[in-house]
Structure 1
Amino acid sequence: MAYSKTKLRLFVDTKAGKVPCAEADKNFIDFLIYLLSLPIAAAVRNLKEKNLHMAGGGSLGHLYESLEKLPNSFLQPNQDKSSLLNPRAPVYATGIPLTLSDYDFNARKSYKCLGCYDHVAEVPNLTCSKCKGKVNIAMSYVPPSPANFPVAVEGGFLKGLATYIVIDNLEFMPLSTKMFVSLLKKSGVKDLDAVDEIEVDLGVEEDLKLLKLSLESKTILISFYFGDRSGHGFLDVKMIPSIVTAIEVLYRLI
């Protein structure tokens, strides 16, 4: 499956080694919201497959491997190890740049009761608690896709008109010039000339690294840009023409 890239504009104080904030469109914020719906096991599996170990030894990774190695004979008869290791994301959204869950919602099946039609299950051939009949009539899942709405609906979670500001710990909010300047001041930026604007393209690899950092750090943007202590960053970046000068007067007045 081909994944589209999204862009993120980082505001970097190189001298201080800080990334006070970043500017993002809906695609990046859609991705952050999607992370909230992602089951922990799915997140760990994707990081493990890319050999991205979490800081501090990666305890969740060891937990995942322990279950992976556990013989099926230790599980209850109604439990399936594959479903525990590969849980399905409960939230459906189209157009997310990186869909970490590989589960195809179009193939999702539910099963209704053969006798009373009142009960539904995701596992076939269970016994209905009401009529004691078998729950085995297959029904297809209908996702809340844009095609199912009478008005035009974009992919993802958010409308596409707004631009957002994202701070180092991944908090985000709609962008305003006053808020942007306030964030720079709170970060200790005294001279706007020291702030570089750097645009980065985010694909699958970068998104997975963001996921990793979100599980182990509160300074995600700093770690994402500057990388480890040896200076090996995560990003292939390019400088872009600065727009900071346009708000310099406001910065000095606030």
Structure 2
Amino acid sequence: MASKQEPKLPLTLLVDKERNCVVAAEASGDFIDILFSFLTLPLGTIIRLVSKKQGCNEAEEIGCLSNLYQSLESSGDKVFWNYICKKMLLCPRNPCEALCQKLKLKLDDTMPMRYFMCSNRCRRGGDWFLSTFAEASCYCGKQMDKEMKLHGDSNEGSHGDGVFVKGRTMYLIFDDLKVLQSSPGNTVQQLVQLGYKNFHKLTKKYLNVSTKEILDLLKQALTSNSPLSDVFLESGGLKRVCTFSPKLRPENQNQGWINYNSSINLKVTVRKSKKTILYAEAEGDFVDFLFSFLTTPLGCILKLLDGNFSMGCMNNLYKSVKDLNPSCFTNPSGTPLLNLRVAPQFGFRRQPTKLCEEYTPCYWYGTGVIKNNICFAIGNGVISKDHSLIKHPGAMKLFDPRSSDGTKESSLGFVKRPSLFVVWNDLQVTPLANTSSISFLQKLNVPLDDLEEHELRIEETEALNLLGASLTSKAALTEGLFYLLKPKKQAKA
């Protein structure tokens, strides 16, 4: 039997051969949907895709986040509340998963969401329990491994032709990933701005794009200002267009009032001669905050940092979503791309920034389905987000996989409390359990009188600075937090 051939999408390039660059490209909404889906990918998924998918020995690095992800991979399960926590961080869920499953080319290899109940059909407080992880342990002690079918959700988020934008509309894409609706007027205006008075120096190139080229495009878009030329012409354009400048906390912010529920205390050690932060001694809250970067969609981060950093062409892609005519989008109530949140259950509760979780939908369990006002019994029962579609609906409670009994209140994050870690300047994370402090300092091989300790409080401004630095720098602690350090007075002899 012949294997199913991977679909490909048509793409027309307008190429300046003298300069060896893509001036513009034209494609249908199917291709634009895939470009815009980059914004929905959690950072952990992006790191996994660009560093490992192509089987290269040399991993693509994204600031310090690649180090953070590698630290997560090498961490033992005992660091976390349970082994599901580590799995959640390594393979975070896309908040637009249902929509992205409809893309013509699927870049994200994360397993789609599945639903499980305990075989005992346990209830507590009148609610049935539901888990999106088969490995979760029910409070009765059994694994929640009875898979359930979700009824009535096949068209979630669908508003006709296309996924995010209308598929049959044509669009212009420029080398820096600026996207416009294709029209003669837009084409003339853009080409003239780029210095072309006619088509004499331009030639067309027709391509059929596969998942491999899309993945290459994602990788280049994170670091380059000319990803189309880099991928389709192998031009080797400018690399590492990633910049960030920390913001200062407004003087009137939190005067007289501190939100201790979201602020995080941090102890950092500075190497005075190098004027760098060598490492930080951190408790679980700070490590959970760092790990929460991995579960956050790229578009959410671009919105939070609001142009205060440059990461390849991703800012242009996000701005294109904001500037595109609303009539281009499939959803008449507005595109979800501008209001992305962390997927339900994948957030960190004590979050100094405004990285919020998506609202958890309500689920219902019933003994059958209702179609055309006729009830059809199902032996194992059925679940749905719409109680009107099932027979004898009963409310369900979504089991939190990070806590021992499924209660949201007891789940602080991903790593165990109490616990202590060393976070290095490049965001490598090392647990300090059973570690000798004497051996630790000896291995540093740094003069002890060159070390100086400072205590910091991480609130929203500092947290955003650290987030921006982690995406663009190889020394995130220094780039994101060093400006906070005040010189210490020398003790008199």
Distance 2:208 2:106 in 1: 17
Distance 2:111 2:69 in 1: 22
Q: Is 1:24–1:164's contact at 8 Å kept on the other side of the alignment?
A: yes
Match of 1:50 in 2: 54
Q: Equivalent residues in 2 for 1:17-96 (5 A)? A: 17-47=20-50, 48-51=52-55, 59-77=64-82, 80-91=85-96, 92-93=98-99, 94-96=101-103
> What is the one-letter code of the residue matched to 1:109?
Y
Q: Post-superposition shift, 1:227?
A: 1.9
- Where structure 1 has 5 or more consecutive residues not aligned to the other structure, the ranges are 128-133, 231-254
Deviation sequence 1:98-148 (CA, Å, 0-9, x none): 32333443x611669713228765454466xxxxxx9969654457534x7
Q: Post-superposition shift, 1:194?
A: 0.5
Q: Post-superposition shift, 1:84?
A: 1.2
Match of 1:10 in 2: 13
Distance 1:114 1:57 in 2: 45
Deviation sequence 1:186-230 (CA, Å, 0-9, x none): 112244110111111111110110110121123222222332549
After superposition, the Cα gap between the structure-2 partners of 1:229 and 1:219, relative to the gap in structure 1 and judged at 3 Å, is closer
Distance 2:111 2:60 in 1: 31
After superposition, the Cα gap between the structure-2 partners of 1:14 and 1:144, relative to the gap in structure 1 and judged at 3 Å, is farther
Distance 1:42 1:229 in 2: 25
SS in 1 for 2:127: coil
Match of 1:159 in 2: 166
After superposition, the Cα gap between the structure-2 partners of 1:51 and 1:96, relative to the gap in structure 1 and judged at 3 Å, is same
The answer to whether residue 115 in structure 2 is matched with residue 109 in structure 1 is yes
- Decide which structure has greater helix share: 1
After superposition, the Cα gap between the structure-2 partners of 1:117 and 1:3, relative to the gap in structure 1 and judged at 3 Å, is farther
Q: TM-score, normalised by structure 2?
A: 0.39
Deviation sequence 1:143-199 (CA, Å, 0-9, x none): 7534x79x9934533323310111222121211111111111111224411011111
Match of 2:191 in 1: 184
Q: Which has the larger radius of gyration?
A: 2
Matching residue within 174, 198, 202 for 2:181: 174
> What is the one-letter code of the residue matched to 1:108?
R
Q: How many residues align?
A: 222
After superposition, the Cα gap between the structure-2 partners of 1:26 and 1:229, relative to the gap in structure 1 and judged at 3 Å, is closer
Q: TM-score, normalised by structure 1?
A: 0.71
Distance 2:171 2:216 in 1: 21
Q: Is 1:4–1:97's contact at 8 Å kept on the other side of the alignment?
A: yes
Matching residue within 216, 232, 254 for 1:225: 232
Distance 1:213 1:30 in 2: 18
Q: Is 1:8–1:202's contact at 8 Å kept on the other side of the alignment?
A: yes
- Where structure 2 has 5 or more consecutive residues not aligned to the other structure, the ranges are 238-493
Q: Is 1:14–1:194's contact at 8 Å kept on the other side of the alignment?
A: yes
Instruction: State the superposition RMSD in angstroms.
Output: 3.5
Match of 1:145 in 2: 154
SS in 2 for 1:192: coil
Moved more, 90-99 or 51-60: 51-60
After superposition, the Cα gap between the structure-2 partners of 1:57 and 1:97, relative to the gap in structure 1 and judged at 3 Å, is same
Distance 1:77 1:228 in 2: 47
After superposition, the Cα gap between the structure-2 partners of 1:54 and 1:227, relative to the gap in structure 1 and judged at 3 Å, is farther
SS in 1 for 2:222: helix
After superposition, the Cα gap between the structure-2 partners of 1:172 and 1:69, relative to the gap in structure 1 and judged at 3 Å, is same
Distance 2:39 2:189 in 1: 27
Q: Is 1:9–1:23's contact at 8 Å kept on the other side of the alignment?
A: yes
> What is the one-letter code of the residue matched to 2:193?
K
Matching residue within 198, 204, 210 for 1:203: 210
Tell me which of the two structures has the higher relative contact order, counting C-alpha pairs closer than 8 angstroms and 6 or more residues apart: 1
